[in-house]
Amino acid sequence: MRYSRKHEPAALSRLGVMIGPDRVADLHEGYSLYLLEEARNPKGRELAAIYMPPYIAQFLHMGEPAWLALGDAYAYLDRLAASAADATGMDGRKIFISLAECRLYAPVRPGKLIAIGRNYHEYTKHPGRQAGRVPAAFVKTLSAITGPGRDILKPPRVHELDCETELAIVIGKRCKHVREEDAYDVVAGYTIVNDVTARDVGRIEREGGNLFLAKSYDTFSPMGPWMVTRDAIPEPMHLRIQTRVNGENRQDGNTSDMIWSIPRLIAYLSQITLMPGDIITTGSPGGGGLANPEWYLRTGDVIESEIEGIGVLRNAVVDAPAA
């Protein structure tokens, strides 16, 4: 995850890892301490700065050495949390803090955010949403990304605002022309993306043969709450997906209902070069405003996007400020 303490500015955000259900450990400080105290490496702080950078994409670009460092850091922090929960790092700050004390950020800032539509059988039952011979892929702007707990800004001209909870694949290594049987080897982990959509704007854009603003207004891609590593989700094609708005269930499906599976999507999309940290969303089950126009989002609504094995991504809808 990428986090800071609530009183700290975003510039001090860093990588963390969950130790237990509600405790966050500072990976940089934890790895520094491990290298100095257990590995007896006097270059602990310098090496920690390299292997535990502030951004997950930077971490992924280093490949296997970074993952080995993460394994050492996690094992050490797990032991330390059991024996010295109030431990401090080299800078005197607590290594462990409660999740409630954290401000979370979008876990990954990708080079590419590739979205997939029309990928669930239930979704394709909606009029005009039939699947094609290839995945319905499009690119969302990076400025649409926002983090857990951040507001979704509803533009003044948008009247049919919808949300779609999607399993998002985080690419872990540079790759191209990946075979289906090798697809999971290039996956670093998974997170949640809420593919917010302005349906009314989308209808107008489709008349011109495109879909852009409807998917890419600022804050239209909430992401989080964190990235879960690939090994922690051995069956990503069997995960329950739910969307709740103000506690009311709006979507309820399972990744097993995908038309294009994760391996097939990666094999198809890797006809272009995929880089560490790139994100591929995988589509959404039926439901939402397409199923019931009364379910279009209103100012003040609180959306909970939940995927089994990952967690819950919460965001509220507010009116975008006047220009």
pLDDT digits (tens, 9 = 90+) for 186-227: 999 999 999 999 999 999 999 999 899 999 999 999 999 999
Domain architecture of the chain: domains with CATH: 2-104 (no CATH), 106-319 (3.90.850.10)
Q: DSSP letter for 94, please.
A: B
Tokens of 149: 């707990």
pLDDT tens for each residue of 130-181: 667 899 999 999 999 999 999 999 999 999 999 999 999 999 999 999 999 9
The 3-state DSSP composition of the chain as helix, strand, coil percent (nearest 5) reads 30, 30, 40
Q: Which pLDDT band holds residue 123 (cuts at 50, 70, 90)?
A: low
Q: Among residues 298, 76, 246, which one has the least CA distance to residue 84? A: 76
**What pLDDT is stored for residue 173 in this prediction?**
97
Taking the C-alpha atoms of residue 187 and residue 182, their distance in angstroms, rounded to an integer, is 10
Under 8 Å between Cβ of 260 and 136: no
Report the Cα–Cα distance between both ends of the chain, in Å, rounded. Answer: 33
Looking at the chain, the whole-number percentage of residues with pLDDT higher than 70 is 97
Is residue 322 packed enough to be buried (19+ CB in 10 Å), middle (13-18) or exposed (0-12)? exposed
**Does residue 51 have a pLDDT over 90?**
yes
Bridge partners for 104 per DSSP: 3
Bridge partners for 165 per DSSP: 194
**What pLDDT is stored for residue 287 in this prediction?**
85
What's the pTM value of the predicted model, to 2 decimals? 0.96
Q: Among residues 235, 237, 222, 232, which one has the least CA distance to residue 279? A: 222
Amino acid symbol at 315 = N
**What pLDDT is stored for residue 37 in this prediction?**
94
84-92 mean pLDDT: 91
Tell me the three state secondary structure of residue 75. helix
At CA 260, angle to CA 255 and CA 266, rounded to 5? Answer: 100
Helix (H) or strand (E) holding 136: strand 136-139
Q: Say if strands 221-229 and 187-194 run parallel, antiparallel, or are unpaired.
A: antiparallel
Residues sharing a CB contact under 8 Å with residue 203, sequence separation 6 or more, in sequence order: none
Residues sharing a CB contact under 8 Å with residue 204, sequence separation 6 or more, in sequence order: none
Higher pLDDT, 322 or 26: 26
User: Long-range contacts for 38-41 (Cβ within 8 Å, ≥24 apart)?
Assistant: 38/76, 39/72
DSSP string of 295-320, one letter each residue: GS--TT-EEEEEETTTEEEEEEEEEP
Tell me the three state secondary structure of residue 103. strand
107-119 mean pLDDT: 96
Q: Where are the alpha helices (DSSP H) in the chain?
A: 27-37, 44-51, 56-61, 64-83, 199-207, 213-216, 262-269
**What pLDDT is stored for residue 99 in this prediction?**
97
- φ/ψ region of 283 (left if φ > 0, alpha if ψ in -120 to 50, else beta) reads left
**What pLDDT is stored for residue 303 in this prediction?**
98
Looking at the chain, the whole-number percentage of residues with pLDDT higher than 90 is 91
Place of tokens 């997170």: 191
